[in-house]
Structure 1
């Protein structure tokens, strides 16, 4: 069970790093899209990016101390649920052009919960 927990944790850590770094630095197209008119403020986008980076670090640390990994996975799931809400509010699930990108947080939420469960079972 630990191997599965490790694979899910590393996968989520890579996603958290890739998603969080541009937001934390407020560089690239994703932070710009999130800050579009009617979107999120720059400090909130930066906070979300830092939360994703913290989750990535916690998931990697959780490979050595499972309670940290469980907390990081559940925290990342909370951030992802917020992303699902943002996409729902923006109407991305109803639009066929944006639906594909909007499904990523849904799938990653399931992976984050699975990582937390496998970390608990591996300890």
Structure 2
């Protein structure tokens, strides 16, 4: 189960993180909508990519995976709050909340597997 969750997290966060780092137009628009500079958005993308690396490496060393998944969960909670703070309707925060839950599920599953 941990491997499946790691793959889900990787398939979501890696392309989004790389797109933020590359500052593709849709990501620049998203950053502007949320009142973020492109530089800050690139940092968020780098954190997402680092989280993916940690989750995947966590398949061989559990403490790293748990730390990375926890970091991704915190990042997604912050993302959901930023959307709500900027007046987005609550459904716009749902994807971030779901990814936070998946990240926490990965961490719990990894810890349970030992």
Offset, 1:31: 2.9
Rounded to whole Å, the distance in 2 between the matches of 1:8 and 1:116 is 9
Is contact 1:22-1:31 (8 Å) kept? Answer: no
Is contact 2:81-2:93 (8 Å) kept? Answer: no
Structure 2 residue 48 is matched with structure 1 residue 57: no
The gaps in structure 1 that reach 5 residues or longer are none
Q: TM-score, normalised by structure 1?
A: 0.86
Structure 2 residue 112 is matched with structure 1 residue 121: yes
1:39 to 18, 35, 48: 35
- Number of corresponding residues: 114
Offset, 1:34: 1.4
Report matched runs for 1:1-123 at 5 Å. 4-36=1-33, 39-94=35-90, 99=91, 101-123=92-114
Structure 1 runs (4+) greater than 4 angstroms displaced:
none
Q: Give the structure with the larger helix fraction.
A: 2
Q: TM-score, normalised by structure 2?
A: 0.92
Rounded to whole Å, the distance in 1 between the matches of 2:28 and 2:110 is 31
Offset, 1:58: 0.7
Higher relative contact order (CA 8 A, sep 6+): 1
Rounded to whole Å, the distance in 2 between the matches of 1:106 and 1:5 is 19
**1:71-99: CA deviations, max 9, x gaps?**
110000011011011111122235xxxx2
